[in-house]
Amino acid sequence: MKYRKLYEGIIHKVLLLTALVSTLAVVFITFFIFQRGLPLFKRVSIWEFLFSTYWLPTDETNPGFGILSFIVGSFYVTFVALAIAVPIGLACAIFLAEMAEGRIARVLRSVVELLSGIPSVIYGFFGIVVISKGVRELFGGTGYCVLSASIILAIMILPTIVNISEVSIRAVPRDYKEGSLALGATHWQTIVQVLVPAARSGIIAGIVLGVGRAVGETMAVLMVAGNAPIMPTGLLSKVRTLTMNIVTDMGYASGDHMTALFTTGIVLFVFIMILNVVVNAITKGKITGKE
């Protein structure tokens, strides 16, 4: 008995230590990013940084540190990707949760899991060879544009939306389904009017997590988006996102230019933190009203 208590005490302390290490890692990362990025605002106002499109940090006479075009590009690419991925992902989740059986279900789940494990650079190669070429032949232009980047991102965030949505639909009490069918509703009516609304908190959480993945993605988007530091004007316009800007300039940046890249990282960090808060609120039922 004495040794059991000692053993449990050691395990408790080890688990507490690992939790503290994780917490400290977040604290140090936060401190490091803000410590390196905030000094830029001694030279440039927050308003100019966030709402100017003039990005020319290497100009010694009139340097520009405006990232509005990158913010707009990030949201543009992300929301077009969501417009593609959400209907497909939700339909796939419904099929896996309510219709697919046996070998078909196993194969589909394996494919979805495989999608989540493919390196982003492989998606980028696929985008260059297939997506960009298809966009160029169908719509003209270079093929390196918002639409190509959005299609690649949609494919990349599908596993997140599918997996979380399927689990959420399966978690709905079976009494809901049985009661709906007993009242005369068809299987499809039960899915649309009962199961999906009941699982909406999990589905929304999956979509929000997909947004976080899309906003933070760099390599695949960099390879197909055109990487032009301009304000996107349409689906066929070249675009540069926040993460692309950091990766593109980091290799040669110095001084205020380097500081501006860390400040861009602060913008990304804050946005991801907001997404995490939203996900936590959704999963706790504070937004959907489900406890």
81 shares its domain with 21: no
The most confident of 124-138, 192-206, 215-229, by mean pLDDT: 124-138
Confidence class for position 283, pLDDT limits 50, 70, 90: low
pLDDT (tens digit, 9 = 90+) per residue, 225-278? 988 888 998 899 999 999 999 998 888 888 889 999 999 999 999 888 888 787
CATH number of the domain bearing residue 145: 1.10.3720.10
Same domain, 27 and 146: no
Q: Are residues 16 and 122 in the same domain?
A: no
Residue 104: CB atoms within 10 Å: 12
Total domain count for the chain?
2
Q: Which of the four pLDDT bands, split at 50, 70 and 90, describes residue 201? A: confident
Is position 268 within any domain?
Answer: no
> In this structure, is residue 118 part of a structural domain?
yes
Nearest to 175 by CA among 198, 156, 159: 198
Indicate if 9 and 135 belong to the same structural domain: no
Q: Are 35 and 156 contained in the same domain?
A: no
287 — pLDDT class (breaks 50, 70, 90): very low
How many residues are given for the chain?
Answer: 291
Q: Among 74, 237, 61, which residue's Cα sits nearest to residue 147? A: 237
Q: Is residue 275 part of a domain?
A: no
Which among 231, 240, 233 has a CA at the least distance from the CA of 149? Answer: 240
What pTM value is reported for the model?
Answer: 0.85
Q: What is the mean pLDDT of the chain?
A: 87
What backbone phi and psi angles, to 5 degrees, belong to 64? -125, 140
* Helix 242-250 and helix 200-216, axial crossing angle in degrees, nearest 10: 30
CA atoms within 13 A on the CB side of 129: 6
Span 215-234, average pLDDT: 88
Give the domain range for residue 13.
Answer: 2-42
Residue with tokens 């039960």: 190
Question: Distance between CA atoms of 137 and 147, rounded to whole angstroms?
Answer: 13
Angle at 168 (CA atoms; ends 165, 171), nearest 5 degrees: 150
- Residue 1: predicted pLDDT: 64
CA distance 143 to 136: 4
Q: Is residue 101 situated within a structural domain?
A: yes
Give me 277's structure tokens.
């808060």
- Residue 156 token pair: 């990349």
Same domain, 108 and 195: yes
109, 26: one domain: no
